[in-house]
Amino acid sequence: MLDKLKKRFGFTRPDRKEEKKMASDGSLPERMKLAKSKKTSPDILYYLAEHDKDASIRQAVAKNTATPLQASKVLSKDTDIDVRLALAERLIYLLPQLSEDKQGQIYTFAVNALGALALDEVLKIRVALSSALKDHVHAPPKIVLQLAKDIEREVSEPVLRYCILLPDEDLMEILKGHPASWAISAIASREKISEALSTAVYETEDEPGTLALIGNTGAEIAVQTLTSIVQKAKDLPDWHKPLASNPHLPPELAKEMAFYADQSVRDILLARTDFDNREIEDISKAFKRRLAFLEEEDSGKTALQRVQEAYAKGELDDEFVMDAIGVRDTEFVEYALAAKTSIPVEAVRKVMKLHAPKPTIALVWKAGLSMRTALAIQREIAKVPSAEIMNPRGGTDYPLTKEELEWQLDFLGLS
């Protein structure tokens, strides 16, 4: 009696023989019923995925939660785009459950299928995957990396910017591959960036990427990298305001910005609440010194005369020389080095013309000036290529030992 009622109200499912016959010879509605039913035998669903000629049937199979994931390999290579999209949607939905057993065969089936879809020739499919996986906590790392390396911006940019599963090692490898500027900016705009990754972004020498980096409050930037950025920013006014607002900018670099930034940037620096009163006062004084230096330049006195006056007053210190560097008074800096080392200015100029870091550093050291000043002189006066510039050790110290510095001077005949 119960069997009759089930049959009357449609509760019965075909037996295996009937399923096989319907799958191979049934009408479209009959096959669609099989494809959509969660009661259909897994092997029949696999058969439909592999053999049914109607794409709508295969799409229904791809969506069916009863379809064995072993069929994903077949469906991921289906000729119909909608079938592949349906499979991608289902696999992404299942990832949280499948991730509980990452060593399991079922997880492997899913990841392999997603890998095939991540390399799909149809952009729409890769974009769909990227959009869904960019912030998915269970996204397989292998798939995320494939999408991150995609040459199409629509695919890789969201992953590069938002996916927290991409390790620094992979991101730095991508940066080394000379990516497009938008890719560098995407990495530079990530919510959190380590010092190592920030340095890697800056070392690409991509200006929009660095601008995105210094405007990113979640990016940790090493003092050494910031020092180089502050130096380079002289010629890049667009960097000034975000750099002045950067939470990692130390007071000493803020003072350096005072040598070239305009009034609006000065206001940002002086309004910072993370600097104490003494630091704010030092920054304000730096702006005033810069103006005074410019006025002195316009006084009609030669660079030599101005250096001699400053030297006689005991004012020819790091700040005075940095003021000159800030306004690009090369001649003043050369005479200042000559005065503080008791070396003819012609010898100083020969060292500068070497465009080499070690001789330049040794000369600045002999002048009794700081490594911070030596860094600025390397970049602005000696014009040392950026890839060869020697940065301070630990942010402030000379990177060469006393013996190495003295050897450089001996070699140059400037001991």
Q: What is the pLDDT of residues 77-107, one digit of tens each?
A: 999 999 999 999 999 999 988 877 777 888 8
The answer to the question of residue 292 being in a domain is no
- Is 72 domain-assigned? yes
Least confident of 71-85, 172-186, 281-295: 281-295
**Number of domains within the chain:** 2
Other C-beta atoms closer than 10 Å to the C-beta of 62 total: 28
Q: Is residue 97 part of a domain?
A: yes
CA–CA distance, 356 with 378 (Å, rounded to integer): 8
Q: Is residue 161 part of a domain?
A: no
Query: What pLDDT is stored for residue 89 in this prediction?
Result: 94
- Give the range among 64-68, 254-258, 280-284, 397-401 with minimum mean pLDDT: 254-258
Q: How many helices (H) and strands (E) does the chain have?
A: 27, 0
Residue 18 clears pLDDT 90, i.e. is over it:
no
Contact 214, 246 (CB under 8 A): yes
Single residue among 118, 152, 181 that ends a domain in this structure: 118
Q: What is the pLDDT of residue 263?
A: 85
- Of 95, 118, 141, the residue that ends a domain is 118
Count Cα neighbours of 381 within 13 Å in the Cβ-side half-sphere. 32
- Distance (Å) of CA 103 to CA 62, 74, 97, 207: 23, 21, 13, 43
Could you list the residue range(s) of the whole structural domain that residue 114 is in?
A: 16-118
How many Cα atoms are found within 13 Å in the side-chain-facing hemisphere of 269? Answer: 31
Residue pair 411/389 in contact by the 8 Å Cβ criterion: no
Residue 323: what pLDDT? 83
Last residue of one domain, picked from the residues 118, 141, 172: 118
pLDDT tier at 258, thresholds 50, 70, 90: confident
Residue-level pLDDT at 8: 45
- The answer to the question of residue 360 being in a domain is yes
How far is the C-alpha of 19 from the C-alpha of 405, rounded, in Å? 87
**pTM to 2 decimals?**
0.74
- DSSP letters for 260-286: T--HHHHHHHHT-SSS-HHHHHHHHHH
Instruction: Look at residue 52 and tell me if it is in a domain.
Output: yes
In the prediction, which pLDDT does 13 show? 54
The answer to the question of residue 145 being in a domain is: no
Residue 94 is assigned to a structural domain of this protein: yes
| Cβ pair 259, 286 in contact under 8 A | yes
